[in-house]
Amino acid sequence: MTDAPAHVVEPDLPVARARALHEQLDAAAAATPVGDPVPRSSIDLLAQADLLGLMVPAAVGGQELPLTEIVDVYAEVSRADGS
């Protein structure tokens, strides 16, 4: 439990890690022609931030997050790159 206000997100939470990537993901999206696949650099950023195994069961090395938290992470990524 933390004493932080409800609107403050702990920096080690997945949603905070996703938010920290906004600038880099936005730049990659801006440099990618419409209709092209997501750039490998964006996928690498998500992997480095440990944001690719959110739904994977913990028993096999994933984070097994609740669906509500996964949706929050996807929303943050979408704010930077909606493609």
The pLDDT of residue 77 is 94
Q: Is the dihedral of CA 81, 25, 73, 79 positive or negative?
A: negative
The pLDDT of residue 58 is 94
Per-residue model confidence as pLDDT tens digits over 25-61: 999 999 999 889 989 999 999 999 999 999 999 999 9
Hey, how many other C-beta atoms are within 10 angstroms of the C-beta on 74? 14
The pLDDT of residue 80 is 87
Contacts 24+ apart (CB under 8 A), 2-5: none
The pLDDT of residue 7 is 52
* Domain limits, the chain: 14-80
Residue 3 pLDDT exceeds 60: no
Tell me the CATH architecture of domain 14-80. Orthogonal Bundle (1.10)
Per the model's pLDDT, the better-predicted residue between 6 and 48 turns out to be 48
Q: How far apart are CA 63 and CA 17, in angstroms?
A: 14
